[in-house]
Amino acid sequence: MIRILLDTNFLIYTFDTKMDLHKVLDSSLLEAYELYCTDKNLEELNRVGRKDVLGLVKRLNIAVLKTEEQGLPVDDLLIKIAKERGFYIATQDRVLISKAKNASIPVIAKGNKNRVKIVL
């Protein structure tokens, strides 16, 4: 089972492009998967005025991980969780992709034509 931790910008991208995330992941991955985000992602969506994306989290049955870390940037928190718990990270953020690659964390990013690519 692949556990995928969604970054805030990936959630926004999925919402804005009306991407059918389950369809795209089903056609791109060879294993079953579960989707996750953190409570900090939800706070970030509220902070940047994207409350509209919160409905996507419910609609796609994305599990929300409760975190206790204070003052840690969301990207660093995602890296920490992914490394400790064996998650993939789904993001479009080049800086986060680079950090994840340096930490040997698999990354899922938008590929060509309604597909995603896995960056190892």
Q: What is the pTM of this model?
A: 0.91
Structure tokens at 47: 């902070």
Q: What per-residue confidence (pLDDT) applies to 51?
A: 87
Among 117, 119, 110, residue whose Cα is nearest residue 19? 110
Q: Which residues pair with 88 in a beta bridge?
A: 4
Q: How far apart are CA 55 and CA 11, in angstroms?
A: 11
Burial of 65 (0-12, 13-18, 19+ CB in 10 A): middle
| Domains of the chain by start residue, with CATH | 2-119 (3.40.50.1010)
Neighbours of 23 (CB within 10 A): 10
Quote helix, strand, coil % in the chain, to nearest 5: 45, 20, 30
Q: pLDDT per position in the chain (120 positions), as tens?
A: 999 999 999 999 999 999 899 999 998 888 999 999 999 999 999 999 998 999 999 999 999 999 988 888 999 999 999 999 999 999 999 999 999 999 999 999 987 766 677 776
